[in-house]
């Protein structure tokens, strides 16, 4: 009976995480909330999420990554601790080498090892990719004092949560692309309308219209047929 209740609790929490991500307008806040719920579900204390960002060229957080969410970091991993956060880390190297394809629990955290100070006993973390299909968008890490804290069941749970986060991120990315495309389309239509109004000569206006429509639609030819 206890195991059945535990299973129901885990499924309920996973459903709550999925609903949080699906309803989210602000994806970063949703990642933060999902991370907190997942850590509680796994009976851990600390975790963080890296997102891939090709524009991140400096060494803070690791080249090509940004820190998108974190929860209950020990003092040794405070945001102003350069020793902990500057430079690449083991989980990022695994991800860059396409070796992080599922939850992986044998990551001795190089950030914790180099940080010094109060780590609250944390030494290792389990990592899972944030995936949408074959596309890896980031890394989810949850920390512990020993690898024994990450059972096969816990790793399966971590993989599931990582997939949910990855799908939410991809959906948000596609939504932003669509929104940006619509903004460009509306601006182009407004400019076209203004230009048409400025052409008083009919032949000149029709010539401009066909040329501009061909350019906007990226086609080889365009013709304008008027009723006789």
Residue range 149-178, pLDDT digits in tens: 888 888 888 888 888 888 777 776 755 555
Q: Percent of the chain, pLDDT > 90?
A: 10
Q: How confident is the model at residue 142 (pLDDT cuts 50, 70, 90)?
A: very high
Helices (H) and strands (E) in the chain, counts: 7, 5
pLDDT at 11 > cutoff 70: no
Look at residue 209 and give its three-state secondary structure.
helix
How far apart CA 116 and CA 37 sit, in angstroms, is: 28
How far apart CA 75 and CA 98 sit, in angstroms, is: 31
Q: Quick check: 180 and 198 in contact, CB under 8 A? A: no
pLDDT at residue 9 in the model = 66
């Amino acid at each position: 009976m206890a195991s059945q209740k535990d299973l129901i609790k885990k499924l309920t929490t996973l459903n709550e995480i999925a609903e949080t991500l699906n309803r989210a307008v602000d994806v970063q806040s949703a990642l933060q909330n999902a991370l907190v719920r997942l850590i509680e579900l796994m009976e851990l204390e600390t975790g963080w999420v890296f997102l891939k960002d090709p524009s991140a060229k400096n060494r803070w957080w690791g080249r090509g990554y940004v820190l998108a969410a974190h929860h209950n970091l020990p003092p040794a991993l405070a945001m102003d601790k350069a020793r902990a956060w500057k430079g690449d880390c083991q989980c990022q190297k695994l991800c860059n080498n396409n070796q992080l394809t599922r939850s992986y629990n044998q990551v001795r955290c190089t950030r914790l090892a180099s940080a010094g100070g109060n780590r609250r006993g944390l030494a290792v973390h389990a990592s899972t990719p944030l995936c949408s299909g074959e596309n890896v968008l980031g890394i989810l890490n949850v920390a512990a004092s020993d690898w024994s804290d990450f059972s096969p069941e816990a790793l399966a749970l971590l993989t599931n949560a990582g997939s949910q986060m990855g799908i939410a991120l991809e959906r948000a990315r596609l939504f932003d692309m669509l929104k940006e495309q619509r903004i460009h389309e509306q601006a182009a239509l407004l400019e076209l309308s203004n230009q048409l109004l400025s052409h008083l000569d009919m032949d000149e206006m029709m010539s401009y219209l066909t040329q501009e429509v061909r350019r906007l639609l990226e086609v080889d030819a365009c013709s304008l047929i008027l009723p006789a």
